Structure formats: structure tokens, C-alpha cells
Structure 1
């Protein structure tokens, strides 16, 4: 069992390294060369929907920038709001003094109120300054982390070993945070001392709001929507409307007359103003007043369904990630997709896995160290495309056998001679099938 876990860990590391073109071992490289000449395709174009490596690491610098921008807006809004209030209060107090319409005690009370408000503003700005300092420290650490890679002359540099392990740890922490394993992610980040390279706080806040929606609570997500109201309106997000719609559904669900009246007031305040943007939802909201949950109509049964809370949680996560420029797909998935594709060969999922080869053959040796052939990663790599190989290593005397496999003619004849076959017959190196050499067709590589 321990061997299996170690094998999976080694395979995961190899797959993530392969995104940088890192050659895992010379044996694995030999296996790739053999497969490209032993029936392997000469060129595969990997059509992937995932971004390239520089784009994959963009979040590392982009998220602190977005958080800094948000922090600045919070500070700016606080200054504008409190300074406007204090100026107006000061103006009113001064005017009252000139008109002799206020007593000295009232003037002192107004001044104390203004001083208390400015002290509150000072505390808010101090908190924003601390947050800005923290985010700048994170940005500097991340710039140093990425800069270390670009200072290496090649991937054979000894420093790359440590850098790639740090990146793998970072991807694992990101994956765990996205899936709610906050304690494990925090423990790993602390153990590897990469707290400044991961966004624990951001994902923890997202997880709390997501969990509150799954539990049927909306206060947290509505507070988040209010905090980011301008950005959400600019994005054209429907999150707040759908949350208000769900509130309306819960009021109607009870069929209590008082709650139905509250539902109508709620709809007039939050749903009707958006009837031009969401006409079908507003019409359905009106229909809910007439059709209770037990009515049995499919369209309204779906609105009363419990899974809508999970749908709201997913909508919130999508909106949250879009707002902060966080990739929708975990970075670990992106790295694995590219790495598995780079390491994948036809034999990794062949139905003829060296059954005719001896245990001591090079094919058996190389498959034992191939990450894609491991039990843990074989299924994951089954549907990823092959990598695009710009240089061909096919034997110059390649021939096509009747079973559509390509081998070098000299290699086939040598293998068949050692296998004791009659002259004029050759044996497939992989499947063991025997053919007449006259039936083999010459292959021309263009």
C-alpha cells in the first residue's frame, strides 16, 4: 500500500514537471522513443482548453492585485463617506452658532460626535493599511518565487528541483482550499512555509459563504453582494437577483397568509425592478402564489426543489472567481492535463501490455517507472490527448504491418530471426502476431 501511495506521489510530481518539458528519467525517454517507432503515431496535436504555463501562474500575481484594488476602494469609500458627514455636521454646527440657535453644550456634543467619527475612520484606515502591507508582502514573495524560475538557465539546474516541489505544494493547497479542506491546506502551507504563495484567507471566506448557502442562509451572501455591488453590476451578474428570488420562494413555500403578504412586498421591492432583465423568473414568481409545492406542475416543482440551494452555491463560486480573476478550473487539474498529455504514449492504454514480452525486457522495465502506467494515474490520463512531437524519431526503414502497426524493417527481421521464424515471416513486437514480410507496406514520412 505504501508503494502505491509513493508511486502516485511520484507520478503526480512527474506530471506537473512535464508541463515545463522536464524529462523525468532516461528510461522513460527511451520508452517514448521506442513507442514512436513501435506502432506509435508520429505527430499528435494536443487540443486543450486549458491555458499555457505563464497563464496558469497568472493568478499568483493577479489575485493580490485585485485584493489591493478592492482594499483601496474600501478605504476611499470610507474617507469620502465620513469626511462628507463630518463636513456637513461642522457646517450645520457653525451655522447654528452664528444664528445663536444652539447652546454651548449642544455644540460640544456635536464636536465630540465628529471627533468620534474621525477616530472610527482612523481605525478603518489603519486596518486597510495593515491589509495593504500584508498583500504587498505576498506580492513580493510571489514575484521572487516566479523570478527564481526565470533566473535558471535550464530545467536541468539543481535549483529547479526545489522550485518544482514548491509549485506542486502550492497547487495542492489551491486544490484543497477550493474543495473545502481548509485545515489540511493550512497545515500543508505552514509545513512547507508557503503561506505567502497561497490565498488561504480568500478561499476561507468563499467557503463560509458557500456553506451558508448550502445550509439555506442568505445573510452572508447578501452582505457580500452589497460589498461588491458596483463590480457585480458592471459584470452583469444575476447572483443577487437569484438570491432574492430564493428568499421569495421560501416565503411562498409556507403558504401562511402573513408570509404570502411578506412575499408580495418582497417581490415588489427586489424582483419587479428587474422584470426587463429576468422576465421569465418574474412571471414564475407570480405563478408561485397560485401553485403550492404539492401542485405537481413540473416547472413549479423545480422551483421548490431543495437542489436550488446547491445551484446558488455554485453560482456564487463562479461569480466570486470571476470577480477576483480566479481560474474556474483548479490549477492542479490544468497542470495534470498538460503533464499527462506530455508523458502519454499509445502503450499506456494498449490492450496488449507486453503480455508476450519477457519480464526482463526493456518494455517491462520502462513501464514500471512510467507515471501514466501507474494504477493511480492511468485512468486519469485515458481521455487526455497526445502531445504534439515536432521532431520524428521513427526508423528510416519503417513499414506498416497488416494490423496497422509501424516498425523498422531491420528491427522486425532481427527480432523474427531470434524468435526462430521461417524466412519471409515477421513477428509483431507488441502483439506477437505473425505476418508475411511481403504484406508489409513501406511508410514514407512527410
Structure 2
């Protein structure tokens, strides 16, 4: 039988273990909650697509119903024979039947998109402290697929999703295929698909004060001027660009001036308008508007996550010629990613031996060579033992005696 004294002595240990376990769990839960805050785009994209489908179905319904009601009103007011009235009514019935089919198809599309939203919510809810490692592995794969889509590697993205067994509802392949049609057309110098996309999303683009449609219309005029079709260019400007005159008069005047300067001009102000890079600019502008419309980040998620890590590693030493190869920022690709990031705030510096990669501290103090380079005591002692008391600087090739080294003190 356990004595009261023994029980009292065991309780504090039991309580401390429980408290530690609870604290660890709470810490992991807090980190997971912070991590989930970064999944805004993951939920926003299917939701925006769902809303877009609802709006399109609603517009189609209103348009068809309005036409049918107008047809019935006209038939009632007109003095039609029995056969003509019957023909008119049959035509309206056929139109309503067509509307019914469209609404059924639209309803199915809405259902599939609502299911996608539900699947993504369930995926986020499945994130738990116990399976956070597996969940993060899936997230990394999603981010890689997103990167492939952003760089127009659509087939690779599909293969990647298939190889990783990622549900189609967890990636945005179909959404990016929608953008691919417009991007490919712009690369072929065709603006019709881009203008159709602008018309389809007119209200949203107007709210965000987008200039994409205006820029596309200006490029149409430039191409007409290039083809020496000045009359058509003027007619086109009167029809499509007059509404933009109040807010974008300077840009409009600059483009219309090309009618006088022609495509062969050497005047830098107007010559630049005829350069091929204007089409690249339109592609970039479309991508930004597309990302904004669906609530996506302009930068690929992979870049954002990498920059978050690089910001903690970036120091002035990373850009020196003798930066260690173990440092990610010794690679040109990572340096480019971190170019606009601030240097990390280091409250306490650490000295790492270039030879052994071990930390230099009071237990393993740094030793200074005559040329000013510093290495750890343990590494230099091992080198001296193997070379009869001689030390060779691995970076400059200087050879000296171990007795010539000076001890440095870390404060």
C-alpha cells in the first residue's frame, strides 16, 4: 500500500509531465493555426469560380426570360392569325426548353464547384497535430503544381498531380487552362479572346479600375496603323475608345498621334509603341488581372515560401566570393529570389569554422592565422598533427607553423 508521503512526492512529477505535454500540444496547435492562415488563396479560387458561374447563369436566365416576355407581349398586341400565333408560341416554348437545358447544365456546374469548395474545406479541417507532417507534404505538392501552372507548364502540372495522387479538387488546373487560352492568343498577337474575357468579367474589372481592356484596344489601333489602315483605326477609336477619353486622354492622344508618325518613325516616344515587347506587357498585365480576379498571389506560392526562409538566412556575408557552398544564398537562383529582401536581424552572431563546420565558442575557440583568416582550434590541431606542426590555409594556401597562430576571444 502506497503511503501518503509517497503519493505527495509523485504528484508534482506527474503534473509537470502533463503540463509539458499540454504545452507542447498547444505550441504545435498554435503553429498549425498560423500555418492555415496562409491558405487564403486555396479557398478563394474555387469560391470566386463558383460566384462567377452563378452570375453567368443568372444573366442568361434574365436575358432569355426578358426575351420570352417581350415576345408574348408583342404577340398579344399584334393582330395575328391562328396559325401565326401558334407558330409564335411554339417558338417561345422551344426557347424556354432551351433555357431549361442551359439551367440544368449550369446547375450541374454549380454543384461541382460547390463540391470543390467543400472538399477544400474538409482538407483544411483534416489538418491535425498528429498528421501535420503528412498534411504539409500534401501542401508542398500543391505548391509545386501551382508553380508549374504559373510558369505555363500545364501538362507537367497535370502529370505531377497525377503522380502525387492529388485530388483534382485540390489544385486549380482547369482555372489556369482558362487563362492559357488568352495568353496563347496574346502571344500570337490576337486580342479577341482577351477582350471576350474582359467582357465576361466587366463588372469585376470595373470595380478594380482595371485598364486591361483599354490597353488591348490601344494595341488594336497600333496594329491597324502598322498595317497602314488609318481610316479603320480612326473608326475603331471612335467606336471603342471614346468612353475612355475622360480618364485616359493622354494615353489616347499618344496612340492616335501614331497616325501621323507611322510605324517606321524613329521618334522614341512613338517607336516604342510598335515594339514586340508591348505584347509581352499585355501578357503580364492580363496575368495580374487574372490573379487579382481570383484572389491569387501575384508571385508563385513557391517563391513566397522560399523568400520567407531566405529572409532569415540573408546576411551581407552571403554575397561575398568566399561564401560557403552550404549556404543556400551562395546559389545564383536563391540570390535572385532574396534580392529585394532585407537582411535578417541577428542579435547574436555565431562563428562557424570553415574547415570543420563546427561552432567556434569557448570550448572550441577560434585561432587567427598570420593572414587574418580564422579557424577553430580543433580543426587546426588535427591539421597540425597530420602535417608535423604545419598549418595550410585552405582559402589562400598560406603555410605557417602552429605556434604562429594567435588565439581570438569570443565575447
Shift of 1:144: 2.0
Cα-to-partner distance string for 1:366-397 (whole Å, 9 max, x where unaligned)? x8xx683897976567756666689x7979xx
* Mapped pair 1:278 → 2:260: no
Rounded Cα–Cα distance in structure 2 between residues aligned with 1:177 and 1:375: 24
Shift of 1:225: 0.9
Shift of 1:162: 2.4
Contact residue 341 and residue 381 of structure 1 kept, 8 A:
no
Structure 1 gaps of 5+ residues are 1-19, 23-51, 355-366, 396-405, 422-426
Match of 1:114 in 2: 92
TM-score w.r.t. structure 2 length? Answer: 0.74
Aligned-pair Cα RMSD in Å? 3.6
* Mapped pair 1:143 → 2:121: yes
- The counterpart of 1:292, out of the listed 255, 262, 281, is 262
Give 1:196-345 correspondences, 5 Å limit. Answer: 196-255=169-228, 259-342=229-312
Contact residue 272 and residue 282 of structure 1 kept, 8 A:
no
Q: What is the DSSP-based 3-state SS (H/G/I as helix, E as strand, rest coil) of the residue aligned with 2:152?
A: coil
Q: What is the DSSP-based 3-state SS (H/G/I as helix, E as strand, rest coil) of the residue aligned with 2:364?
A: helix
Cα-to-partner distance string for 1:166-191 (whole Å, 9 max, x where unaligned)? 11111111111111111111121123
When Rg is computed on C-alpha atoms for both structures, the one with the higher figure is 2
* Mapped pair 1:415 → 2:397: no
Contact residue 172 and residue 332 of structure 1 kept, 8 A:
yes
Contact residue 176 and residue 184 of structure 1 kept, 8 A:
yes
Match of 1:398 in 2: none
Contact residue 361 and residue 410 of structure 2 kept, 8 A:
no
TM-score w.r.t. structure 1 length? Answer: 0.69
Cα-to-partner distance string for 1:39-79 (whole Å, 9 max, x where unaligned)? xxxxxxxxxxxxx8445321110111111111111111112
Give 1:99-178 correspondences, 5 Å limit. Answer: 101-149=79-127, 151-152=128-129, 157=130, 159-178=131-150
Query: What count of residue pairs does the alignment treat as equivalent?
Result: 349
Contact residue 323 and residue 330 of structure 2 kept, 8 A:
no
Q: What is the DSSP-based 3-state SS (H/G/I as helix, E as strand, rest coil) of the residue aligned with 1:325?
A: coil
Q: What is the DSSP-based 3-state SS (H/G/I as helix, E as strand, rest coil) of the residue aligned with 1:336?
A: helix
Match of 2:73 in 1: 91
Rounded Cα–Cα distance in structure 1 between residues aligned with 2:41 and 2:318: 33
* Mapped pair 1:193 → 2:161: no
Shift of 1:81: 1.3
Rounded Cα–Cα distance in structure 2 between residues aligned with 1:211 and 1:80: 33
Shift of 1:108: 1.4
Shift of 1:418: 5.0
Give 1:49-68 correspondences, 5 Å limit. Answer: 53-68=35-50
Contact residue 348 and residue 378 of structure 1 kept, 8 A:
no
Rounded Cα–Cα distance in structure 2 between residues aligned with 1:187 and 1:261: 50
Cα-to-partner distance string for 1:101-156 (whole Å, 9 max, x where unaligned)? 1011111122122112212222222222122122122112211222222x22xxxx
- The counterpart of 2:155, out of the listed 160, 170, 183, is 183
Shift of 1:342: 4.9
Q: What is the DSSP-based 3-state SS (H/G/I as helix, E as strand, rest coil) of the residue aligned with 2:295?
A: coil
Match of 1:372 in 2: 328
Give 1:13-28 correspondences, 5 Å limit. Answer: none
For residues 266 and 55 of structure 1, do their structure 2 counterparts lie closer, same or farther at Cα, with a shift above 3 Å needed?
farther
Rounded Cα–Cα distance in structure 2 between residues aligned with 1:235 and 1:386: 34
